[in-house]
Structure 1
């Protein structure tokens, strides 16, 4: 299996976030990518290739142009205001209480285009975000050209980024952009199956009223976990997308038996939809040792996940999302990919 990754994606580094009442070093850091690439090389999964430079044309079909312009310029605006450190928001518009305006202040813009204080900008952020986007598009193009499966090592991740907002370490929704690229190339239906611990609220928001992209997610119950305000079972889509958004929230402490049952249900929904390609939002923060998650999957379970995904029999694009037990993230991410490859060969 080919992996797409650029060292430019490591330029988003040294950022801080606000978490549990304190400003802390970002959990989404460069070591995630280095542990994953090292594990890929260790097990001989396949070549790690640089992405091809890509335009933002497909991303503009997913995100608002104004939002993309902002994240591309946020660090410059922060620096021009005389700031240093990490650009984080501290003020957000209350729902329905303020005018629909685009303010000039960088502090206001940071709040307008975000949902939390975890997704900070530093000097290399935009370069890394753009390279991560390019990795997703390049991987989608490989699928279009005939690859059975490919892995886009997208760092920063993407599934919490919506049409015009960032959050949860995500700036551009890489999985959504990849899905759109596949559709533009002739796929009639694409499924995004999100196996990350957290609900992909951005992916849901982007495709909620569309019937050409099915979004299926199994995740921690948002009554008790991030992103809190999306991911409930009764969110089924709207208009032309009604019935094509499927959420499977699970309680804290979910073990393999519970999680596997949810996956089997999710896979049944995918088979019923009949997609041409499945995009996996590939998060491994379901691991029992993850520092910001509360499920109980072990190392041995991740190859089993890959084997079950292979059972769909469709072309499959894996797009990296979460997973923050840094010493273990490479083992678990590559475990899924190796399990998929082993099942395909059998």
Structure 2
């Protein structure tokens, strides 16, 4: 028996907060240059605008569930670091935004330095992502958007869209990177488990591998993680996401990666999705979390798949065939002219099915 009482709703609700705008970094290390970040406030505004113009459903502010659900997925010291990193950086007299400059590479000691420059490297899994004023506040608010979406499902909604920004799936138990600070999808999944669910599935359809989500649940038997993504031999995050990474211990067989090469067309991508959704069906979860990245789009500036806008409608309908209570958690998508259309296409495809 499922732990929640599910009711079919007439329209899909979107959870959203203006606090995402507090994350407005000015620098990203890209191609050997400091550039304006690909992950910027306009992303959420394009999506929200499309949600509203298409009359998808109500747009609601998040509740505040505090720190406990965050600490359930993330190291306490790491969370404390995120809260004070920018303040500590500025206190040392640094003029720019906080960007890691030294990381503990292979075989180097894993002691966390006391100086902020060293702390940044210790807690980073990539160095493109700066920490700016307002980053923590936006990341915290984004986690609350995810938690509120999970609560809606627990209270009886059939589906909900958590318009999270900043995204989260690259954030590990104790590291930030890839524009991510707190792992919103993982936090939502854990919330389901802490409130009565026995099993939860996460399907990550973002172009980039959800290395943070894999890290958090790799040895767990209560969460199935399925990720469709660009082959890490060719693209970020590079060091995780291969097909032979299948979980360990209690989680053996419950981590499923589908890495795919450059120029992968929708037909090939959809075959992988079908196989992954069948794995979800066999797992029999009580709830489904979709890490919804739409950077699989053919014109996305930092990706190499070839999905067209109409394809997002089709795979939204595919996900709906599982018949599971489903929370969509926003991840990536960086072609701002199309991100709203493609995101809402997935949701409309799901709802229409």
The two structures share one fold, judged by TM-score above 0.5: yes
**Matching residue within 318, 321, 333 for 1:323:** 333
Q: Name the SS for the 1:253 alignment partner.
A: coil
Q: Name the SS for the 1:281 alignment partner.
A: strand
Distance 1:313 1:172, change over 3 A: same
Partner of 2:26: 15
Quick one: distance in 1 between partners of 2:334 and 2:71? 29
**Matching residue within 158, 171, 179 for 1:169:** 179
Quick one: distance in 2 between partners of 1:49 and 1:108? 39
Alpha-carbon displacement from aligned partner over 1:284-335 (angstroms, at most 9, x marks no partner): 0000010000000001111111100100000000000000000100000011
What is the deviation of 1:102?
2.1
Partner of 1:178: 188
Say whether 1:209 aligns with 2:230.
Answer: no
Mapping for residues 1-346 of structure 1, pairs under 5 Å: 1-98=12-109, 100-343=110-353
Quick one: distance in 2 between partners of 1:205 and 1:315? 24
What is the deviation of 1:15?
2.9
Quick one: distance in 1 between partners of 2:105 and 2:92? 25
Q: Name the SS for the 2:309 alignment partner.
A: coil
Q: Name the SS for the 1:203 alignment partner.
A: helix
Partner of 2:6: none
Quick one: distance in 1 between partners of 2:331 and 2:196? 26
Residues 26, 118 of structure 1: 8 Å contact kept: no
What is the deviation of 1:53?
1.5
Residues 35, 326 of structure 1: 8 Å contact kept: yes
What is the deviation of 1:51?
0.6
Quick one: distance in 2 between partners of 1:32 and 1:235? 32
Quick one: distance in 2 between partners of 1:118 and 1:57? 29
Quick one: distance in 1 between partners of 2:305 and 2:100? 30
Q: Name the SS for the 1:300 alignment partner.
A: helix
Alpha-carbon displacement from aligned partner over 1:153-188 (angstroms, at most 9, x marks no partner): 110000000010011000000000000000000000
Deviation beyond 6 Å, 4+ runs, structure 1: none
Q: If the length of structure 2 is used for normalisation, what is the TM-score? A: 0.96
Alignment length (residue pairs): 342
Q: Name the SS for the 1:326 alignment partner.
A: coil
Runs (5+) with no aligned partner, structure 2: 1-11
Runs (5+) with no aligned partner, structure 1: none
What is the deviation of 1:118?
2.0
Which deviates the most, 74-83 or 133-142? 74-83
Alpha-carbon displacement from aligned partner over 1:125-159 (angstroms, at most 9, x marks no partner): 11110110110001100110000000111100000
Alpha-carbon displacement from aligned partner over 1:14-61 (angstroms, at most 9, x marks no partner): 331111111111100000000000000000001111111221101111
Quick one: distance in 1 between partners of 2:69 and 2:107? 31
Residues 25, 131 of structure 2: 8 Å contact kept: no
Q: Name the SS for the 2:74 alignment partner.
A: coil
What is the deviation of 1:97?
2.2
Residues 25, 130 of structure 2: 8 Å contact kept: no
Residues 128, 156 of structure 1: 8 Å contact kept: yes
Quick one: distance in 2 between partners of 1:94 and 1:258? 36
Q: If the length of structure 1 is used for normalisation, what is the TM-score? A: 0.98
